[in-house]
């Protein structure tokens, strides 16, 4: 993969801040790239690398930071075989204070490089996600949702002293409370979910089988590789094709592989050259999907506004015609000015629909129906036809 835009430096050396939480004073004006290197992996310390990225340059951040698991010795199964748990140095911190300082540093830099309407997703377990959430709020992020990833095949609790830990938590946050125009493909998610609103509990299996990246000896290359389906749902819900997705803890490259397949760009930061090597080979083997398979579905909010008066003026309905609800219980007469009359009230299709039902609000486009050839047709069908004709 080539760099789509050039950057001043390739790999970023590890200094200033280590993944163990020990810090050194940062330069007051650290050198930053004027442009962003796309579809590349920066090898080096995540905080130092983030400091070098240009401000307001990424559309989405996905972060899978160290969980600070605080493991006490080796874990074993009932048959005394050892569990291949996360015991790498990058997950070890001297104290909660050290972990909090590390979290604040990388989150502050992530917020700086986010565009005004970008959003951030961070995943964690009960060991760290609550501390991360508090720091997010302290830094000015605005939490939009917490998502529960329910694992279809969780590792059992071998000691039988606690509940089986069968989920992880994701926090989805905007850059601040004032960021109202963040990306969220509500209709697309609903359409792919059998026309039901997408819920905040997602069921995916752990990464296993052919998707699990292995080293030369056949062992898993990275202990916390996330399933591609999880990253795909995040990108499909909160980004557009062509957007830039930043992952400051790139690992084995799941974010990059999914971004390439879905027509997004990525910027990855990874301190371990071995992990970066696995990620490069993995991403290079990905075949991008055709453009029409990843194109963003049009959102209703983005469609041109068509007032009900336009439906009357175009002749789809006539002044004096009676509209009814789908069951025929409520009736109102169309007036020449595009309002409805349900004696004694006169008002919009929404106001009259709400009034007749005794509700505070009503979507008149789907509530009101016109009689055509012995069938009731929602007036929204006429609006759809006008839009298909370009609004004429």
The per-residue pLDDT for 23 is: 44
Q: What is the pLDDT of residue 22?
A: 41
Confidence at residue 89, expressed as pLDDT on a 0 to 100 scale: 59
At 295 the pLDDT is 92
pLDDT at 29: 55
Q: Which of these, 39, 36, 47, 40, lies nearest to 11 by C-alpha position?
A: 40
State residue 392's pLDDT score: 52
Q: Is 180 exposed, middle or buried (0-12, 13-18, 19+ CB in 10 A)?
A: exposed
- Please identify every stretch of the chain with a pLDDT value under 70, giving residue numbers as ranges: 1-30, 70-92, 158, 300-302, 391-392
Q: What is the pLDDT of residue 95?
A: 87
pLDDT score at 298: 73
pLDDT of residue 4: 36
pLDDT at 216: 79
pLDDT at res. 288? 97
Name residues whose C-beta falls within 8 Å of residue 130's C-beta, 6 or more positions apart in sequence: none
372 - beta bridge partners? 375
Contact predicate 4/232, CB 8 Å: no
Beta strand residue intervals within the chain, DSSP E? 40-43, 58-63, 114-124, 142-151, 167-174, 201-204, 244-247, 265-270, 322-324, 331-334, 340-342, 345-347, 369-372, 375-378
Give me the pLDDT at residue 240, please.
97
């Amino acid at each position: 993969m080539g760099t789509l835009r050039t950057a001043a430096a390739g790999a970023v050396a590890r200094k200033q801040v280590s993944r163990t939480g020990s810090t050194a004073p940062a330069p007051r004006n650290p050198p930053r790239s004027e442009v962003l290197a796309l579809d590349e992996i920066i090898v080096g310390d995540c905080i130092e690398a983030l400091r070098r990225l240009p401000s307001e340059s990424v559309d989405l951040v996905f972060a899978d930071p160290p969980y600070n698991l605080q493991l006490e010795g080796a874990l074993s199964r009932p048959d005394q075989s050892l569990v291949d748990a996360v015991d790498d140095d990058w997950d070890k911190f001297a104290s909660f204070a050290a972990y909090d300082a590390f979290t604040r540093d990388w989150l502050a830099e992530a917020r700086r490089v986010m565009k005004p309407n970008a959003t951030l997703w961070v995943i964690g377990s009960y060991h760290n996600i609550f501390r991360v959430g508090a720091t997010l709020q302290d830094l000015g992020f605005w939490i939009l949702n917490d998502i529960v990833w329910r694992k279809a095949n969780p590792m059992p609790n071998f000691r039988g002293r606690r509940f089986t830990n069968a989920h992880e938590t994701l926090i989805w946050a905007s850059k601040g409370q004032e960021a109202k125009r963040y990306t969220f493909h509500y209709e697309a998610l609903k359409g792919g979910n059998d026309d039901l609103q997408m819920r905040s509990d997602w069921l995916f299996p752990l990464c296993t089988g052919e998707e699990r990246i292995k080293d030369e000896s056949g062992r898993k290359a990275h202990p916390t590789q996330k399933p591609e389906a999880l990253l795909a749902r995040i990108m499909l819900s909160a980004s557009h094709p062509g957007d830039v997705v930043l992952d400051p803890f790139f690992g084995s490259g799941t974010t990059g592989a999914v971004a390439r397949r879905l027509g997004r760009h990525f910027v990855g930061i990874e301190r371990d050259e071995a992990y970066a090597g696995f990620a490069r080979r993995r991403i290079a083997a990905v075949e991008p999907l055709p453009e029409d398979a990843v194109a963003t579905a049009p959102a209703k909010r983005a469609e041109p506004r068509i007032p009900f008066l336009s439906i009357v003026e175009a002749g789809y309905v006539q002044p004096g015609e009676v509209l009814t609800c789908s069951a025929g219980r409520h009736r109102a007469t169309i007036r020449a000015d595009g309002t409805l009359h349900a004696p004694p009230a006169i008002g919009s299709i929404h106001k009259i629909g709400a009034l007749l039902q005794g509700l505070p609000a009503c979507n008149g486009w789907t509530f009101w129906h016109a009689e055509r050839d012995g069938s009731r047709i929602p007036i929204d069908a006429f609006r759809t036809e006008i839009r298909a004709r370009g609004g004429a």
